[in-house]
A = this chain, B = another copy of it.
Amino acid sequence: MSGNSPSPRRGRPRTFDPHEVMQQVQDAFWKGGFEGTSIGDLAGATGLNRPSLYGAFGDKHALYIQALQQYRDATQAAGRKILEDAPTLRTALEDLFRAAIRLYTDDEEARGCFVSSTAPPEAMRDTTVRRELAVTNDGLDEMFEARIARAQAEGEACTGLPPDEAARIASAVLHSLSVRARAGASRRALHALAQSAVDLLAQAPETGRSEGR
């Protein structure tokens, strides 16, 4: 509102890109969880030192909350796009689960979803984290519900469940994919679960199952 100033800020300029640093902070928390990651770890992961982190983002808790929000915004925007771009509900779900599995097993093994792998332990004592977790879950539910409602409106036959209920089942599959990925499950096993869920949620009108695998 106050006109995002293109004028260079006064004082010594930053030597880092806050968004990129936040991504590295997210990765560090992703690996070790909130309590298991020290400010020193974050400094090492980002390349800058403790006081700079405090100056730019606040304390450790604020750092974590911002990482949660950035992750949610990025993944759910990407998820919505994947769902919308697919021509049918079946392919939409297949594409989204495939992308989720890639994210959950990327790079190093056993990553899972950042939010549902690291937020739950804090959520019981920390009401802010709990709220972020709830917002993330609600976002997932709404993301799926919108696409399922569209499928119904377009006359696609799917499950007998109303869109909001089917959407929650789809979110549940994501939750499970995350836990299982974090437990070290193979991509093969994760894809099998996803495919079962697709078969249950998006039964093709005539053929029971789509073509092979």
Cβ contact of A184, chosen from B33, B121, B134, B178, cutoff 8 A: B134
- When all copies of this chain in the complex are counted, the total is 2
CB-based nearest B residue for A111: B124
The answer to the question of A200 belonging to the interface, with a C-beta cut-off of 8 Å to chain B, is: yes
The answer to the question of A73 belonging to the interface, with a C-beta cut-off of 8 Å to chain B, is: no
> In angstroms, how far is the closest chain B Cβ from the Cβ of A82?
20
Instruction: Report chain B residues within 8 Å CB of A119.
Output: 182
> In angstroms, how far is the closest chain B Cβ from the Cβ of A199?
7
A182-B33 CB under 8 A given contacts A169-B196, A172-B193 = no
The answer to the question of A47 belonging to the interface, with a C-beta cut-off of 8 Å to chain B, is: no
The answer to the question of A23 belonging to the interface, with a C-beta cut-off of 8 Å to chain B, is: no
Question: Which among A8-16, A83-91, A149-157, A159-167 touches the partner chain?
Answer: A159-167
Interchain CB contact under 8 A, A160 and B36: no
Q: How far is the CA of A211 from the CA of B120 in the complex (A)?
A: 35
The answer to the question of A133 belonging to the interface, with a C-beta cut-off of 8 Å to chain B, is: yes
Interchain CB contact under 8 A, A120 and B182: yes
The answer to the question of A79 belonging to the interface, with a C-beta cut-off of 8 Å to chain B, is: no
Interchain CB contact under 8 A, A33 and B121: yes
Q: How far is the CA of A116 from the CA of B136 in the complex (A)?
A: 17
Interchain CB contact under 8 A, B31 and A33: no
Instruction: Report chain B residues within 8 Å CB of A33.
Output: 33, 35, 121-122
Cβ contact of A130, chosen from B123, B184, B196, B208, cutoff 8 A: B184
